[in-house]
Amino acid sequence: MRRAFVFAVMLGVCPLSLPAAEPPEMQVILLGTGYPRPDPEHAGPATAVLVGEKLFVVDAGRGVVLRLAALDLPPSCGVVGSRCLAAVFLTHLHSDHTAGLPDLFTTSWIFGRAAPLEFYGPAGTREMAAALEKYFAEDIRIRRDLTEMLPAAGATLNVHQVVQGVMYEDEAVRVTAFAVDHRPVEPAFGYRFDFFAPSSADESYPQDSSSALPFRQGTASAVPNDDKERRAFRSGAQTPRFLRGDPELGQPPSPARRIVKTVVISGDTRPSDNLIKFARGADVLIHEAYLPEHFDDVDSPAVAARLKRYHTSADEVGQVAAAAGVKLLVLTHVIPGDPESEKIFLERARKHFKGEIVVGKDLMRF
Ligand SMILES: [Zn+2]
Ligand SMILES: [Zn+2]
């Protein structure tokens, strides 16, 4: 029963219609399916993961707060989910993925987030966090010390530099970062969300598949995270190593836990074997995609060639989904995002992937 419930895929573009009854325990919501070019129908890249009353946001592109405002989140979550916002995860620091972050940081504080914003991202994230606090310094002083007297902690960020491995885990969800290939932007990450059954769950649920993930237990480092390591990585002198567990988080999760649903978010990447490993058997793969002819039309040959080298075409994304054996492929970061192109994306991806495919639109839920 429960399994059937969580595997039920809810598709639809209506932004304001969560079922009136009991809210689902877990939902993944496309907040923004666009890319750098402004488009009122497609906010910048951002995805919400709602688990009970915890809200996780992966990337925070242009318009993320307005899209959050369109969600019928539990009332206890406050405005734009401010009191439920458990963490923000960045895949990489391209501006289309971070342009909405200042708004998310400050608006969630103004409307109820009393604790620091838990902020996960690659190298450079710490500097971005410091810059945000500086950018809003005068507003923070006013709202904290003069007018609303808001809690000081909410005006800060708690930075977690991401490496490949388990970055977050609680009783309901585990978040695993994995390296993708968006070079020369590196490191860049995708995220895998494994949702757990309650401990009292039916024994027939599938076993936690974490042992199938390509971790090497006990390795102390991971993908390159500073300039020196990045140079070594580029030159081939260093192969990325895999980490099972954030050293700050301690022990890896108990193997006895049961996963009832897995959702994988690609971030920006060219076709990545490492993504295929980490997405193996996922229920939902949310993956970027583009049409090559669009770059040929709107960009110079040199720029078009560069863009094609670090993104994934409609054909390639079908191949990736087939290789990973996922159940549902959702395209996001769709370039271009016009309705006429939707059919082309589907036709090309379907040549390779026989499962269900959806071209993502803002506020679709899975
Ligand atoms: Zn992007
Ligand atoms: Zn990018």
Same domain, 146 and 219: no
299 shares a domain with 187: yes
Structural domain boundaries enclosing 101: 23-121+123-161
Spacing, Cα 93 to ligand 1 middle (Å): 9
For ligand 1, the distance from its centroid to the CA atom of residue 363, given in whole angstroms, is: 18
Q: How close is the Cα of 272 to the center of ligand 2, in Å?
A: 14
Distances (CA, A) of 229 to 128, 234, 237: 20, 9, 9
Q: How confident is the model at residue 214 (pLDDT cuts 50, 70, 90)?
A: low
Mean pLDDT of 49-54: 93
Per-residue model confidence (pLDDT) at position 219: 33
Give the number of domains in the chain. Answer: 2
58-to-100, 159, 255 alpha-carbon distances in Å: 12, 15, 26
Which candidate, 253, 250, 279, 276, places its Cα nearest to that of 264? 279
- Per-residue pLDDT tens over the stretch 99-149: 999 999 999 999 999 999 999 999 999 999 999 999 999 999 999 999 999
Residue 10 has a pLDDT of 44
CA 188–ligand 1 middle distance (angstroms): 11
3-state class percentages of the chain: helix first, strand second, coil last, to nearest 5: 30, 25, 45
Ligand 1 mean position, distance from CA 95 (Å): 8
Q: How far is the CA of 123 from the centre of ligand 2 (A)?
A: 14
pLDDT tens sequence across 57-73: 999 999 999 999 999 99
* Model confidence pLDDT, tens digit, residues 328-349: 999 999 999 999 999 999 999 9
Looking at residue 281, what is its pLDDT? Answer: 93
Spacing, Cα 357 to ligand 1 middle (Å): 21
Cα-to-centroid distance, 94 and ligand 2 (Å): 5
Same domain, 290 and 320: yes
Bigger pLDDT: 350 or 257?
A: 350
* 329 within 8 A of 360, measured Cβ to Cβ: no
**CA atoms 170, 171, 172, 178: torsion sign:** positive
- Three-class secondary structure of residue 340 per DSSP: helix
Residue 63 lies in a domain: yes
Q: Which ligand is nearest to the CA of 182?
A: 2
Q: What is the pLDDT of residue 240?
A: 34
Is the pLDDT at 239 greater than 70? The verdict is no
Residue 302 forms part of a structural domain = yes
The alpha carbon dihedral of 99, 361, 176, 79 has a sign of: positive
CATH code of the domain covering residue 111: 3.60.15.10
**Residue 257's pLDDT band (cuts 50, 70, 90):** confident
Structure-token match 């410091």, residue found: 130
DSSP state string for 118-134: EEEESTTHHHHHHHHHH
Q: Does the global pTM surpass 0.85?
A: no
**Are 89 and 238 found together in one domain?**
no
Torsion sign (Cα): 139, 145, 148, 150: positive
